[in-house]
Amino acid sequence: MKKQSNLKRLMEYAGKYRYFTYTSWILSAISAIIALVPYWYIWKIIKEVLNVYPDFDKAENLVHNGWMAVIFAVLSMFIYVAGLMCSHIAAFRVATNIRIQAMEHIVKLPLGFPEDFGSGRLRKIVNESSGATETYLAHQLPDKAGAIATPIGLIVMLFAFDLRLGLLSLIPVVLGFLIMMSMTGAGMAQKMKEYQNALDDMSNEAVEYIRGIPVVKTFGQTVFSFKKFKDSIDRYGVWVIAYTKQLRMPMLFYTAAINSVFAFLTAGALIFTRNGVTEEFLLNILFYIIITPIISVTLTKIMFQSENAMIVDDAIKRIDTVLAMKPLKETSAPKVPKDSSVVLENVTYSYDGTKPALDNVSIHIKAGETVAFVGPSGGGKTTLANIISRFFDADKGRVLVGGVDVRDIHKQELMNTVSFVFQNSRLIKASIFENVRMGKPDAAREEVMSALKDAQCMDIIEKLPDGVDTVIGTKGVYLSGGEMQRIAIARVILKNAPIIILDEATAFADPDNEVRVQQAFSKMAEGKTVIVIAHRLSTVVNAHKIFVLKDGKIEESGTYSELMEKNGLFEKMWNNYKTSVQWKVEKEVSL
């Protein structure tokens, strides 16, 4: 199957607005041709001055020719602006449609896709790759049409006055074009891809760096905790310096070539006038001196357009990597869970297809139970919770919610069945009322206020200038991590899903907020199946069952008392936890 050209792909996004793009090319080409006309009038002015010299009073057409040069210059400018207006209308539509299609596709992908793909990388593709197409269509394609029309007009004018000087003027064009081709071939396309990869990597690591700042502040770490971010900057720096040095000599020769037209004209003039200078030749050489700088400008435009075409090609490929991601399969005959029980049967899952993050895991959680996932970092706790809520589909085995395979439950039904409270809850820039009502979009105001009250949020509401209608993030209104956590819990309470997953939800809360968050948890968990991912082992001692995960496997399971009696991994973790808590208390007292 023949691959579509990038331009054809972009025109599909433009729809009926593609005609604005075509119009912009025509207008830009007309503008480029008209822009050459003033040079002819300037030549006529010079010719008349030389003809009447030294009696300038005999010059009758200087003013007329001067005004004609100005009129055609202004006309060219207005036509070019009209072309840009057309191209921008189409370009904005294309960029918008790309972003809409990308986001519509992203929301259909597994919930864990952004985290696995890299949120910084994903943001860069959606925003900057679509932005690259906008610049390409709005400016570079119209300029390309003008850059093609300009040489055509130039060739006619160059040959119309003196064929010999015209041919000499084209020598730098040929030299510059050959050097340009050596810089903008397949090698440059690969380099452009490497450049964008380096930017993606740095952007992704930057997002992770920003997200990790609370952890650094909480645990007193240094910036060297973010070695990956620094390494990505170093790699980018090394690549850019090496690439710049590689293009240094070709760019030097290219610049010398396109600006050497005067050297060729001077050499030609010396040869052609060895038997004397005629007035006609003097006029022609003056004309070529005036007009030939356009050659270097035009060639430079073509060179950068070749580079920008490669940028757009790379941008479209990156957008296609997102669009090529397959959504989770939806069943044609969806079923409804019978209750809030959760069962995993021999579940195996791997992020990269090599080492499994979950390895043959089987658990059974009864409706209404509170269970906890604990274990060393990287043991698979969060992955297990993500599999239950179908952030991903298991590679092997199956997950049952309410006795129904999650793959047979409609996505919206599953989201209505499972709610999440993460350790770093996020709120949108909207009022607290709208943030909470996201859990149930058709909720009445009384329902929202009741959820806020149950989530222990009334002290937050009372101190805000507009109460529950206060917009977060405006006029200096910001909430602490613990306060945002309580707002997020209010949203979950309003949603009233039968299964709740808590992912270390009190990790960064201060003591006062932690007490209130725990009270909100108690209200939220009434009659629900609750799955807690915890590092503070003191928060899970009353769980109906505790699953201890290590290296993607269930190492131990049971109640707190049963696990302590086994003298296994949990008992060791508990002793280490108690020691760390005691050490922290003693250290604070000594301070």
List pLDDT tens digits, range 391-412. 888 889 999 999 999 989 888 8
Tell whether 536 and 568 lie within a shared domain: yes
Q: What is the mean pLDDT of residues 577-590?
A: 55
Q: What is the mean pLDDT of residues 93-98?
A: 90
Percentage of the chain exceeding pLDDT 90: 16
Tell whether 195 and 81 lie within a shared domain: yes
The amino acid that residue 20 corresponds to is F
Q: Which of 360-364, 512-516, 529-533 has the lowest mean pLDDT?
A: 512-516
Tell whether 252 and 144 lie within a shared domain: yes
pLDDT value for 166: 76
Structure tokens at 240: 């850019």
Q: What is the mean pLDDT of residues 136-152?
A: 84
- Calculate the alpha carbon distances from 214 to 199, 301, 403 in Å: 25, 47, 40
Tell whether 276 and 362 lie within a shared domain: no
Question: Is residue 591 scored above 50 in pLDDT?
Answer: no
- For residues 373 and 521, what is the distance between their CA atoms, to the nearest angstrom? 17
**Total of domains in the chain:** 2
Q: Which residue has the higher pLDDT, 414 or 301?
A: 414
Does some domain include residue 318?
yes
Q: For 259-351, where are the alpha helices, taking DSSP H only? A: 261-272, 279-291, 293-323
- Mean pLDDT, the chain, integer: 81
Q: What is the mean pLDDT of residues 534-552?
A: 85
Indicate the burial class of 526 (C-beta count within 10 angstroms; 0-12, 13-18, 19 or more). Answer: exposed
Tell whether 150 and 108 lie within a shared domain: yes
11-15, 207-211, 242-246 — which one is most confidently predicted on average? 11-15
pLDDT value for 504: 67
The amino acid that residue 532 corresponds to is V
pLDDT value for 225: 53
Tell whether 248 and 368 lie within a shared domain: no
User: Residue 139 gets which letter from DSSP?
Assistant: I
205-219, 330-344, 359-373, 415-429 — which one is most confidently predicted on average? 359-373
Tell whether 300 and 362 lie within a shared domain: no
Percentage of the chain exceeding pLDDT 70: 86
Tell whether 313 and 361 lie within a shared domain: no
Query: From its phi and psi, is residue 346 left (phi > 0), alpha (psi between -120 and 50) or beta?
Result: left
pLDDT value for 257: 81
Q: Express each pLDDT in 517-530 by its tens digit.
A: 777 777 777 888 99
Tell whether 207 and 351 lie within a shared domain: no
CB 309 within 8 A of CB 141: no
Tell whether 393 and 256 lie within a shared domain: no
Does some domain include residue 333?
no
Report if pTM > 0.85: no
Task: Find the Cα–Cα–Cα–Cα dihedral 381, 385, 387, 391, rounded to 10°.
Answer: -120
Angle at 276 between CA 272 and CA 281, to 5 degrees: 60
Does some domain include residue 257?
yes
Tell me which of 323, 351, 385 is where a domain ends.
Answer: 323
CATH number (domain holding residue 583):
3.40.50.300
Q: What is the mean pLDDT of residues 333-337?
A: 86
Tell me which of 258, 289, 323 is where a domain ends.
Answer: 323
Angle in degrees, 0-180, between the axes of helices 62-106 and 141-161, rounded to the nearest 10: 150
Q: For 408-558, where are the alpha helices, taking DSSP H only? A: 411-417, 432-437, 445-454, 458-463, 481-495, 511-524
Boundaries of domain holding 209: 6-323
Q: What is the mean pLDDT of residues 298-325?
A: 76
Tell whether 301 and 419 lie within a shared domain: no
